[in-house]
Amino acid sequence: DIQVTQSPSTLSASVGDRVTITCRTSQSISRWLAWYQQKPGKAPKLLIYKASILESGVPSRFSGSGSGTEFTLTISSLQPDDFATYFCEEYSSYYNFGQGTKLEIK
């Protein structure tokens, strides 16, 4: 089974900050990685798939990079609506999720 390690678990930042979240996988998954945003009481929302492809309708301040075993999600300039929890998901075999990063207002 592929293990997915996401960091940090909590991130405090301010509006306008640039933030980065990292996911590492226990074995190479090429670029089969997605990022989701989740707000309390809501289902996850797809942001990025295949490591770096922005889902339609997602603001361009979100970007993803990486391949193999290390991946990053970057938000270039935080907006108030971005404070939420973020998950990565590898889908090279079955589906395995990272533990989540809660992005909080500093």
Partner 1 sequence: EVQLVESGGSVVRPGGSLRLSCAASGFTFDDYDMSWVRQVPGKGLEWVSGINWNGDSRSYADSVKGRFTISRDNAKNSLYLQMNSLRGEDTAVYYCAKPYCNDSGCYHFDLWGQGTLVSVSS
Minimal distance, residue 52 CB to partner 1, in Å? 13
Minimal distance, residue 76 CB to partner 1, in Å? 22
Handedness of CA 21, 25, 31, 36 (dihedral sign): negative
Give CA torsion, residues 37, 20, 56, 80, to 10 deg: 60
Q: What is the largest CA-CA distance in the chain?
A: 38
Q: Per CB under 8 A, does 96 bind partner 1? A: yes
Q: Per CB under 8 A, does 104 bind partner 1? A: no
Question: 74 vs 1, 51, 65, CA distance in Å?
Answer: 27, 12, 8
CB nearer to partner 1: pick between 49 and 62: 49
Candidate residues 52, 72, 76, 100; the one interacting with partner 1 per rule CB under 8 A:
100
Site for partner 1 (CB under 8 A): how many residues? 20
Overall size of the chain counted in residues: 106
Residues from 4 through 63 that contact partner 1 (CB under 8 A): 32, 34, 42-46, 49-50, 55
- Of the candidates 33, 25, 34, the one whose C-alpha atom is nearest the C-alpha of residue 69 is 25
Residues that bind partner 1 (CB under 8 A): 32, 34, 42-46, 49-50, 55, 87, 89, 91, 94-100
